[in-house]
Amino acid sequence: MPLALLALALGAFGIGTTEFVIAGLLPDLASDFHTSIPAAGLLVSGYAFGVVVGAPLITALGARLPRKTMLVGLMGLFVAAHLLSALAPGFGVLLAARIVASFAHGAYIGVGAVVAAELVAPERRARAVALMFTGISLANVLGVPLGTFLGQQLGWRATFWTVAGIGVVALAGIALLVPSGPRPQGGLRHEMAVFRGGRMWLALATTALGWAPVLAVVTYVAPLLTDVTGFGKGAVPVVMTLLGAGMLVGGPLGGRYTDRALLPTVLAALAGLTVLSAVLLVTSHDRIAAVATLTVFGVVASATIPPLQVWVVERAAAAPTMASAANVSAFNLGNAVGPALAGLTIGAGLGYTSALWVAALLGAAGFAAALAGGALDRRDRRDRRDRREHSDRTVPSAAPAAEASRVPC
């Protein structure tokens, strides 16, 4: 794998860190800005909304720029947003800076995934995408805990200064290591053409529905462990670390199997999430079994990312950038839908295990969407084969007629 992938992964590491570290800093932020914790929670939800909107919007604005230029500009915007966050004099400025950073986040992941796939041979593209996304998994295992600890010890501004520094190093790596490519052909109209067919929208629905179970489980895993499994609060970070370690392992595995067989990997990953969510209904009542199941859940969750990304980009043919950015939005839509639906069932008094039922049902819906997408692919291949066979049968028949026309009377 080329060194340029490490630069892309480092940028993803900074992005993953800033996305999730804010949750651990909310009490300090609320105290400093004299606001409530729910109000400070806008720093989380506003960021997620910015990713959903910003990924396709910023990618569309840069449709005619070379992809390396886009990546350098996006990482520069990311650094500037974090410098503004570190210096923010008020809550409104910090919220605005977070939204700017989220715009850079969505477009960077979308464009970066396309560039990562182009850096390697076609048979290794999913592994390259998985390596870039490993930066986000590593952020959950290393970046978020360290960023939270740093913010608690030195103040929340120190965390933003640190993330800005990570962005500077990633920016330098991208500028030095990522090869310059040609300017994309066709512009925005060419990129948007991939959304005219139902296959692309079905693939994006597969991503949103297939990823939603992950956040439905992870968002409420802490109260599940304490109220259902019987762990003390001190054990929750340890279990979360194991979950994160599973995600670190799963990404490369998902990339390897995606390169071998795309649709079977998509189906296997989504079926795995569905089954494991249901299994947790039983194992969540036993400490050892719950930890083991959550660790495997982390492996399968991360292994889902490469095939879903490639599944969408394959449908974009010669215009993958906008499709890749749209898939980032679909992932973040899943980030919102999963916890929201699980929260409704918990709020209705059905208990924390109801989140597992929600996760299993969402996973099953994603699996069904992938099956439907596979059926459309088979139908398209069959139609193309039938057209070729029809063409082969009709073309030779013209030869005898042509010969007959040359026979003298």
What digits encode the pLDDT tens for the residues 271-290?
A: 999 999 999 999 989 999 99
pLDDT at 81: 94
Q: Region of 36 please: left (phi>0), alpha (psi -120 to 50) or beta.
A: beta
- 97 band by pLDDT with thresholds 50, 70 and 90: very high
64 occurs within a structural domain? yes
Q: Which two tokens stand for residue 15?
A: 């992005």
Shared domain check, 250 and 160: no
388 occurs within a structural domain? no
369 occurs within a structural domain? yes
Distance (Å, rounded) from C-alpha 145 to C-alpha 142? Answer: 6
Shared domain check, 143 and 216: no
Shared domain check, 274 and 258: yes
* pLDDT greater than 70 at residue 380: no
Distance (Å, rounded) from C-alpha 67 to C-alpha 88? Answer: 31
What digits encode the pLDDT tens for the residues 11-28?
A: 999 998 888 788 777 778
Judge whether 27 and 152 are in contact, CB under 8 Å. Answer: no
392 occurs within a structural domain? no
Shared domain check, 352 and 275: yes
Domain count across the chain: 2
Shared domain check, 205 and 179: no
Distance (Å, rounded) from C-alpha 359 to C-alpha 272? Answer: 12
390 occurs within a structural domain? no
Shared domain check, 266 and 256: yes
Shared domain check, 266 and 166: no
Shared domain check, 196 and 136: no
Q: What is the DSSP letter of 349?
A: I
98 occurs within a structural domain? yes
Chain centroid, CA 393 distance in Å: 46
Q: Which two tokens stand for residue 291?
A: 């930890």
Q: What is the CATH number of the domain that holds 8?
A: 1.20.1250.20
Shared domain check, 123 and 11: yes
Average pLDDT over every residue of 243-256? 84
Model pTM? 0.77
Question: Where in the sequence is the domain holding 49, given as residue range(s)?
Answer: 1-184
Shared domain check, 289 and 144: no
Last residue of one domain, picked from the residues 132, 150, 184: 184
